[in-house]
Structure 1
Amino acid sequence: MTELNRETKETNIKCKIDIHGTGKSNINTGVGFFDHMLEALSKHSGIDIDLSCKGDLHIDAHHTVEDCGIVLGKALKNEIFPIEAVERYGNATVVMDEAAVTCALDLSNRPFLVYELNISEKVGNFDVELAEEFFHAVSGNAGITLHIIQDRGRNKHHILEAAFKAFAVALRRALVKNERLGIPSTKGVL
């Protein structure tokens, strides 16, 4: 289990995760749709996430979403590395009604993000561009090579929820124990 706190002039975040949990969550960021996405991430990854954020929401949700991604990414990195005896790679396509989103990832310790969702504007009060900021912060701070690609869909809520769930399932699959692999790299280290 990893516990992190991060305080800046823009946000105050308390986070506790357990990658070997059961998908229990206690999320409170003050951004309703984002809370819903993080709850889905926890449930479908099997990672217990306890996260609270007091952010400068009087400005907008940007700092809250991005900083939560930074903290979650750092907590994931602390839990995953040094990597050993796991599958390392994971992928999933998740459908939500008309929408389908695919996520492929590598617990590479080399952060990179490919993000191709064809959506704009808002879902409720949530600026959809913030989802990319979140995934960029998570991948950058966790050391994950992350590809999130929209296969189809029109409903922005469905597309974003499918993206978060696809990331969750791909991450769960990458973290599956596999003792035979040892350190899952021909380099001998990641």
Structure 2
Amino acid sequence: MAEETDFERRMGGGRHSDDDSEVFKSKNLKAERRRREKLSSRLLELRALVPKITNMTKPTIITDAISYIHELKSRVQELSDQIFAMEATINEHEQQLERSEVDVSQEMKNWGIEPEVKVSKIDNNKLWIKILFQKTRGGITRIIEAMTVLGFVPADMSVTTSKGAVLLTSHIEVMDDGMQGTERIKELLLEIITTCG
């Protein structure tokens, strides 16, 4: 057996036994096998996520995945553009509605129409009402809901709109036993059209 040189000792070289060499090769082979198995499992996962794989080779799977990612990015951009366009349209529509409501309010004033409530008693718990108020989106619905909350049940209702105003006439039945005076009911209805109109 030849003597180890100084250089071989410093470099950790020198002669190794065949057993050491086999252990070293065995560890490398196991590590390489694990790396390849991990890579194969990752490629299978990628293959499962990409709907269009043209071939099962590693380069093809990766190329098809890249193409699919580009398609997805393009689709995301298209959808973002559509959302942006829809938001712009909605904002424009809302601005037009706001302008039209301002125009309606101004139209009502131009014609000298003022909000008004008239209440007449028909019998013990029935009244006839006439309400004139500014036309707004959902205004009639809000007024009927508010009247219902106060215990007024409208019947035989008539609604007319003209010159930015709404004329609502109806007879109402007051649900509570002790019906309030017509002036108090008139005040409540005026308050309703002020807050809802």
Common topology (TM > 0.5): no
Name the one with the larger helix percent: 2
Larger relative contact order, structure 1 or 2 (CA cutoff 8 Å, min sep 6): 1
Name the one with the larger strand percent: 1
Q: TM-score, normalising length from structure 1? A: 0.23
Q: TM-score, normalising length from structure 2? A: 0.22
